[in-house]
Structure 1
Amino acid sequence: MMKPRIEKKLSKRLAKILSNVRGFTDKDVWIDSDLELFPRHYASRNKVALTPKQKRQNYEQRVSVNNMPSIVGGVDYWGEGEDWNSVFDAATQMLIWSMFEIEPFDEKTCKGGFPIINIKLTGKNVVSLARAYACKVKQSQKAGAA
């Protein structure tokens, strides 16, 4: 789990790096400026203490990040809302499937077919993978245009 303010900084950086990649263009990335505040819990006058869940909700309410670069979240064919992700989450999932080797799928046991991740996906590593992927996409676009 990453702190929201760090995820926001990484999302901004990844949005700039992957701006020429399909799915991460300026049309696809939007700024989530909605701040949804939940009601705060207070102890009552007759000295009833807050439950641990209420304390945790009060603590989490203090953590808020406005203007988070996000992807998806529009409406689908039926007009129902789709889930949205921060650019960091979406880029991490995309890079896992595009930059790592995929293990072979065994049809007898129905196992395999997932990427073999050999590094820890920290913010620094995700940014370096994104740079490598953006260069790879740019080179393939130049080769396709030539």
Structure 2
Amino acid sequence: MKARIEKKLSKRLVELLPSVYRKAWRDQDPTELAYDQGSSVRHVLSVGGGVDYWGEGQDAYTVWEDWQMNWCWHGPFEAYPNGHRFQGYPNIEGFRPTTINLLKLAAQCERTSKEWP
């Protein structure tokens, strides 16, 4: 994936999931992907970073990277039953995490969160 596409996807996810990514910030430095590609893409919406309680730096990720790592926890997936080897984890069998499917899932997650009282 090109760095400019990652930037556009990050921006789109913040629009689709404002409740999840309300603390997103614009990174002044090129992303890791942009650096690897020799690109000058900057100002990508990112999450994380900063320092923890002990003053150690934490990793920052683009919004798109974060969504790719955590989408299964936000979706309407049932948990595996007790006794299963993945007990308690979301059952994501049958879901293909393509770009379009992840964007559709993000839109669906925001709609369902607005329906909660």
| TM bracket, shorter-chain basis | 0.7 to 0.9
Offset, 1:35? 3.8
Equivalences, count? 111
Question: Which structure 2 residues correspond to residues 60-79 of structure 1 after superposition, within 5 A?
Answer: 60=36, 62-79=38-55
Q: What does the per-residue CA deviation read over 1:15-49, in whole Å, with 9 as the maximum and x for residues that have no partner?
A: 11111x14x11xx101111148xxxxxxxxxxxxx
Q: Please report the TM-score for the alignment, with normalisation by the length of structure 1.
A: 0.66
- CA–CA separation in structure 2 for the residues paired with 1:91 and 1:105: 27
The answer on 1:32 being equivalent to 2:27 is: yes
Q: Check conservation: 2:49, 2:60, Cα contact below 8 A.
A: yes
Structure 1 spans left out of the alignment, 5+ residues: 37-58
Q: How does 1:39-54 map to 2 (within 5 A)?
A: none
Q: Over alpha carbons, which structure has the higher Rg?
A: 1
Determine if the alignment matches structure 1 residue 104 to structure 2 residue 103: no
Shift of residue 102 of structure 1? 2.3
How far did residue 64 of structure 1 move? Answer: 3.9
Q: Which amino acid aligns with 1:9?
A: K
Identity over aligned pairs, percent? 39
CA RMSD of aligned residues (A): 2.3
Q: Which residue of 1 aligns with 2:109?
A: 133
Are the equivalent residues in 1 in contact too, given 2:30–2:43 (CA < 8 A)?
A: no
Give the ranges of 4+ consecutive aligned residues of structure 1 lying more than 4 Å apart after TM superposition: none
